[in-house]
Amino acid sequence: MRAAAPGRGMKVVYFTHSLASCWNHGNAHFVRGVLSELIACGHDVQAWEPADSWSLQNLLADGGEDALAPYRASYPELSSRSYGADDDVARMVDGADLVIVHEWNAHDVVAEVGRLRKAGAPWTLLFHDTHHRIVSLPHEMDAYDLSGYDGVLAFGETLSEQYRARGWGKRVWTWHEAADTRRFKPLDSDRHEGVVWIGNWGDGERTREIEDYLLRPAQAAQLPLDIYGVRYPDEARAMLARYGARYHGWAPNARAPEIFARARATVHVPRNYYRTILPGIPTIRVFEALACGIPLASAPWDDAEGLFRPGQDFLYARDGEQMADVLRQIRDDADLRASLIASGLETINARHTCAHRVDELMTILDTLGTDTGVGVAA
């Protein structure tokens, strides 16, 4: 494996589905934060994304070039290059010390990077998995050729266990998502009204849960509800309208702190796979909401790894009726709101920032024998 030259950081190459677009692409949130942190630590970072990125094409169709402005303004240090099917992958990774390939990349790209590593390329190669496809669509994940990879970064312990069962043993590491606290932090606001939910409708896999734990409780608690996200079909929008929820469409992730700042509470509605087959994995929104200092109420999920302090950092509701009670408590009790905000911020700042994840990455690379150069996060 290539050792970084004395006096310089590593050259890190990251293959993402899209760095520029967060349209139905939650992975971009964490990747932006980590790459930004690596740059701040003195490392040279290059991101590559396919020219025909599904997320970017949908973003441009939804909002045009102007939709990219919030990302560019919030992350001036970040940029990515696009590549086509005929581009030379070897050129894209030339001079790298570390190459990370996200699982939302084409099978042939994943395989080609691995082939270069097997052929003797001197960099460390890691596969980054932040999705439930290994249990929901296992045939798609099994089609990836990871034989040339040095290891796997999985965003939850139960996901790591899936890779261990496939023979990865000690070469898979649990690497949770985290909050980019350079951007996600409490903002002053003269308005704290109602409940806000930032989330995509997706494929309808949590339709009942959204109704039971978000729409009906907010209505019962007589709290206005604002919803941001994409892929809401007509029937979903009709459901929101029946409950009096205001649907605003897509919002750039960079605007999430200001959106949270205007609300009194937010709600976590986990996807079914993270409640059942892959417990213990929260979405990025939990980290980001707590980092922004907004009280959080959550539908049931098993914090199997003890990432948070349920009941202190956020409040669980076992059913929709209790969720309505929890929202009323948050609405009426200023001391409770202040306590939730302080506890959530404490946990994020102590354990779950992108700086923490960069430290963890450096420890993983040390385990693999990679020289991480200078400027590692303190």
Cα–Cα dist 331/228, whole Å? 21
Cα–Cα dist 168/170, whole Å? 6
Which amino acid belongs to residue 374?
Answer: V
Residue 176: the pLDDT is 97
Residues ≥6 apart with Cβ < 8 Å to 48 = 13, 14, 15, 16, 80, 81, 82, 83, 92
Residues ≥6 apart with Cβ < 8 Å to 327 = 195, 217, 218, 221, 223, 265, 267, 297
Of 184, 128, 117, 205, nearest to 159 by C-alpha is 128
The model's confidence at residue 273, banded by pLDDT at 50, 70 and 90, is: confident
Q: What is the pLDDT of residues 17-58, one digit of tens each?
A: 999 999 999 999 999 999 999 999 999 999 999 999 999 999
Task: Flag whether pLDDT at 6 surpasses 70.
Answer: no
Q: DSSP class of residue 2?
A: P
Q: What is the pLDDT of residues 86-144, one digit of tens each?
A: 999 999 999 999 999 999 999 999 999 999 999 999 999 999 999 999 999 999 999 99
Overall average pLDDT of the 148-176 stretch: 97
- What is the model's pTM? 0.94
Report the alpha-carbon angle 88-89-92, nearest 5: 100
The model's confidence at residue 205, banded by pLDDT at 50, 70 and 90, is: confident
Q: DSSP class of residue 98?
A: E
Cα–Cα dist 40/357, whole Å? 14
The model's confidence at residue 372, banded by pLDDT at 50, 70 and 90, is: low
The model's confidence at residue 378, banded by pLDDT at 50, 70 and 90, is: very low
